[in-house]
């Protein structure tokens, strides 16, 4: 068995003295693991970092075997390593995919969405881009939210909440009697749009986190990865009204 594909590194764990088991999100073969001989060596250690894009060849005697990768670097996420916020976001995204995706199930649109996110993390609005990426992840897994119009009135004016049951937006007036039971809808995710401050980003992560926990992790008796919680902790440590989220 053999195939060639592009893949973004999600996770790496040492195997034996010098090898490593590497999990990639590939363009055509989904989340797929393989053994990289010499993966713990100094030469390959920098190549096998989460967020790096590789050209990978996978070989195995039988399809169900772990198999072995040979890899070549295509793109590096090293530009994010000295920026705590984007680096924490990269770590959160790769950990989510490693935990949420079934192995070897193709998710081509999600692969390209992750590639786009890696580019977006270098821009000033990286935090907003990440919240939108988590919304895309939910949709790709079959749990998309409808934030386009109010579930009660059908209009798209004054959307302020999201129903935790239906995943549909609710307007300020329609949701007021039940506001304590609804999730806040950040303005940057509504038709009103606009730039987001730290609190809006946190509200966005609370929104996506609710549905990730409910639909993706709770059915597996698991919780969202610690890496995502560390990103939230980083954001909470910032001034709630600052625009230059770092």
pLDDT digits (tens, 9 = 90+) for 34-53: 999 999 998 898 999 999 99
Tokens of 187: 């303005």
Query: What residues are paired with 6 via a beta bridge?
Result: 55
Domain finish residue from 28, 60, 76: 76
The answer on 16 and 93 residing in a single domain is no
Range of the domain at 56: 2-76
DSSP characters over 8-45: EEEEEEEETTTEEEEEEEETTTEEEEEEETTTTSHHHH
The answer on 16 and 57 residing in a single domain is yes
The answer on 87 and 57 residing in a single domain is no
Per the domain annotation, does 47 fall within a domain?
Answer: yes
The answer on 55 and 7 residing in a single domain is yes
Is pLDDT larger for residue 93 or for residue 239? 93
Per the domain annotation, does 152 fall within a domain?
Answer: no
Region label for 150, one of left (φ > 0), alpha (ψ between -120 and 50) or beta (otherwise): beta
The answer on 208 and 97 residing in a single domain is yes
In the structure, what pLDDT confidence band is assigned to residue 98 with cuts at 50, 70 and 90? very high
Provide the number of structural domains found in the chain. Answer: 2
Per the domain annotation, does 159 fall within a domain?
Answer: no
The torsion of the CA quartet 91, 139, 165, 132, rounded to 10 degrees, works out to: 50
Q: Is the pTM of this model over 0.85?
A: yes
Tokens of 44: 């390959």
Give the C-alpha distances (Å, rounded to integers) separating 16 from 21, 34, 40. Answer: 10, 14, 9
pLDDT digits (tens, 9 = 90+) for 176-196: 999 999 999 999 998 877 778
In the structure, what pLDDT confidence band is assigned to residue 71 with cuts at 50, 70 and 90? very high
CA dist 42 and 120 (Å) reads: 29
């Amino acid at each position: 068995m053999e195939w060639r594909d592009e893949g973004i590194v999600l996770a790496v764990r040492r195997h034996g003295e010098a090898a490593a088991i590497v999990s990639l999100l590939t363009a055509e073969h989904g989340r797929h693991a393989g053994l990289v001989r010499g993966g713990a060596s100094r030469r390959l250690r920098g190549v096998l970092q989460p967020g790096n894009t590789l050209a990978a060849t996978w070989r195995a005697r039988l399809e169900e075997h772990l198999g072995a990768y040979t890899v070549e670097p295509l793109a590096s996420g090293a530009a994010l390593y000295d920026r705590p916020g984007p680096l924490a976001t990269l770590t959160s995204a790769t950990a989510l995919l490693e935990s949420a995706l079934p192995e070897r199930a193709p998710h081509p649109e999600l692969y390209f969405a992750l590639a786009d996110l890696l580019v977006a993390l270098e821009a000033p609005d990286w935090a907003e881009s990440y919240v939108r990426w988590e919304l895309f992840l939910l949709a790709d897994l079959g749990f998309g939210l409808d934030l386009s119009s109010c579930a009660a009135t059908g209009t798209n004016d004054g959307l302020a909440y999201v129903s935790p049951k239906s995943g549909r937006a609710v307007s300020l007036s329609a949701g007021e009697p039940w506001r304590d039971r609804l999730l806040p809808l950040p303005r940057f995710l509504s038709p009103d749009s606009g730039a987001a401050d730290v609190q809006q980003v946190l509200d966005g992560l609370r929104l996506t986190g609710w549905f990730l926990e409910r639909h993706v992790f709770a059915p597996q008796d698991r919780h969202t990865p610690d890496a995502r919680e560390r990103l939230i902790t980083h954001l909470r440590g910032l001034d709630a009204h600052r625009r230059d989220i770092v």
